[in-house]
Structure 1
Amino acid sequence: MNFALYKQMLKVHGKTILSYSIGSAFYLLLIVGIYPSIADSQAMEKLLKQMPEQWLKAFGLNTGMGNLTEFVAGEYYSLLFILILSIYCIMTANQLMARLIDRGSIAYLLATPNSRQKIAFTQALVLLTGIVTIVFITTIAGIAGAEWLVSDYSLDRSLFIQMNLVGLLLFFSISGYSFFFSAIVNDEKQALSLSAGVTFLFYCFDLVGKLAEKVEWLRNISLFATFQPAEIAQGNADLLPVCILLFALGMISYIMAILIFSKRDLAI
C-alpha cells in the first residue's frame, strides 16, 4: 500500500463516505424512533396479515413486528440499507479506477515510483475503508438509538451485529466485482453500466424469486439471496457458509482486478 496515496484519496472521498454514513445512520434512527408508535398497533398487524405471504417475504415483512430487531430488519435492512450501500460501492469503485483511466489521470499515479499492483491495492483499500466506515457508523447508530430513543423496547445486539456483519461481507463482494469492472475497462460509463447492471439483475432475481415460487430458483444466482436480515433477526440463519462465500467472492474479485490491471495495456 502507498500511504501517501491512501491518505490523499481519503481526503478526496472523505466527504462522500461521511455523507453516506450519516444518511444511513439517520434513516436507521428514524425507523427505530417510529417503532414505539406502531409496536402495539393492532391495525398494522391486521394489515400485514391481509397481505400476500410472498409479497411480505419479498420486502422482509414476513417476520412481522414482534420486536425491534425484526422491525429494523424488515423496514431498513431489507431495502434502504441495500440501496445506500449498493450506490456507494458502484459509484466509488468507478471513481477510484475507471474515471482515472478514462480521463488519463491514472498516468500521474503510474509516473510515481509505485507498481501498478500497489496503486490498485491502495485504491481498493480506500473503497473498503468507506464500506467499513458506513456499516460501523450504522451499527453504532442502531445500538445507541435503541438505547436512547426506545429504551422500553430492547434490540438484540448480538443478532443486530450479525446482521451488519453479513451486510458488510455482502458489499465487500459487490464492491469487489464493481472494482473489477472499473479496473479492466477504459470507459467510465461502460464500467458504471456493468457494475450497476449486474447489481440490478442480482436484486431483480432475488425479488422475483421471492414473489413467484415457480421461479424461486432465480435466487440461487443472486448475491442478495445470501443476505436475509429477517431470518438473522429471528436467529434462524446459518451464517458461516454465507460469510465464507461472500468473503471468497470478494477476495477473488479484488485479486483478479489488481492482477489484470497490473498487466493490461492502458491508452494514456
Structure 2
Amino acid sequence: MLKTNAKGIFSYGIGAAFYMLIIIWVYPSVAKSDALDQVLKQMPANYLKAFGFDGGMPKDLSGFLAGEYYGLLFLIILMIFSVVTASQLMVRLVDRGSMAYLLSTATSRTRIAVTQATILVIGLLIITLISMLPVLIGAKWMIDGSDINVSRFIEMNIVGFFLFFVISGYSFLFSCIFNDEKRALSLSGGLSIIFFAINIVAKLSTDFEWLKNITIFSAFQPTEIAKGTVDILPVSLALGGAGIVLYVLGVLIFRKRDLPL
C-alpha cells in the first residue's frame, strides 16, 4: 500500500517544497521593501489579520512563512491530500469491489483498516517533513544571515500536522462508514471547506469572531506561533487525542458493518 500511494504522497510533498523554495528566494527582497510594508499598513486591518499580516511586514523568515505559506497554501495542500487520500484508501475499494479481494485473502478487517489509516498518517508526516527541508537546509545558503527562528518554525509544523491528523481522521471515518465514494468525499470535503470558510469569516470581522469556536482551523495559529505567543503543548495534545478517537471509531465501524458483495 505504501508503494501504491508513494507517488501521490511525494508529489504533494515535492510541490510544497518547491513553493517553499520560491518563498525563501523572494524573501530577502521583500523584507527590505519599505514600500510593501506601507501598502500593507494601508490595507484593512481585518483582512491583514485573516492572512497573518496584521502587524505589517514580518521581521523574520518565520513570520513571513506563517503568513505567506502556513496561513493559506499549507492548509489547502494538506486538506486536499487528507480528504482525497482517505477516500482512495478505504471507500473507493468498497465502491469498486476491490475490498472483497482483500478480504478473500484471510486478512482481517481490522488489519486492513489499521494499515490504510497508517498509510494516511505516514503520508501526512512525509509531506510535512519534505516541505520543512527547504527552510531548514536551504535558508542557510540562500539567505545571508538567515533570521529564521527554527524552534518556532518546527512548532508551526507540529501543530499543522496534528490539525490535519484530525481532518484526515474524520475523512477516514466517513470513508469507513459509507459504501459510495462520492458521498464520503463530499461529506469530508464539504465539512473541511465549511470549517475553512468559517475560520476566514471569523478573522475578517469582530462581529463574527465567535465563529472561531466552531471551526477546527482556529486551533492552528501560525502567526501567533511565529511570535512565540502560543503554547503548542495543550493544542497538540487536544488535536492528537481527537484524531486518535476518530481513527479508532473508523476502524471499529468498518470491522462491524455490512459490506456490499
What's the counterpart of residue 156 of structure 2?
163
Please show how residues 1-268 of structure 1 align to structure 2 within 5 Å. Answer: 9-63=1-55, 64-268=57-261
Instruction: Give structure 2 stretches of 5+ with no counterpart.
Output: none
Q: Secondary structure at the match of 2:182?
A: helix
Q: Deviations over 1:187-210 (max 9, x none)?
A: 000010001001001001111000
Amino acid at match of 1:266: L
**Aligned partners of 2:75, 2:40: CA distance in 1, in Å?**
23
**Aligned partners of 1:175, 1:142: CA distance in 2, in Å?**
25
Q: Deviations over 1:129-188 (max 9, x none)?
A: 110000011112211121121132321110000000111101111100000001100100
What's the counterpart of residue 3 of structure 1?
none
Instruction: Give structure 1 stretches of 5+ with no counterpart.
Output: 1-8
Alpha-carbon shift at residue 65 of structure 1 (Å): 1.9
**Aligned partners of 2:180, 2:144: CA distance in 1, in Å?**
51
The TM-score with structure 1 as length reference comes to: 0.95
**Aligned partners of 1:79, 1:143: CA distance in 2, in Å?**
20
**Aligned partners of 1:209, 1:117: CA distance in 2, in Å?**
40
Q: Secondary structure at the match of 2:244?
A: helix
Bigger Cα displacement from structure 2, 134-143 vs 94-103: 134-143
Q: Secondary structure at the match of 1:77?
A: coil
Alpha-carbon shift at residue 214 of structure 1 (Å): 1.1
Alpha-carbon shift at residue 238 of structure 1 (Å): 2.1
Q: CA RMSD in A?
A: 0.9
Alpha-carbon shift at residue 29 of structure 1 (Å): 1.1
**Aligned partners of 2:218, 2:70: CA distance in 1, in Å?**
13
Aligned residues: 260
Bigger Cα displacement from structure 2, 118-127 vs 107-116: 107-116
**Aligned partners of 1:68, 1:239: CA distance in 2, in Å?**
20
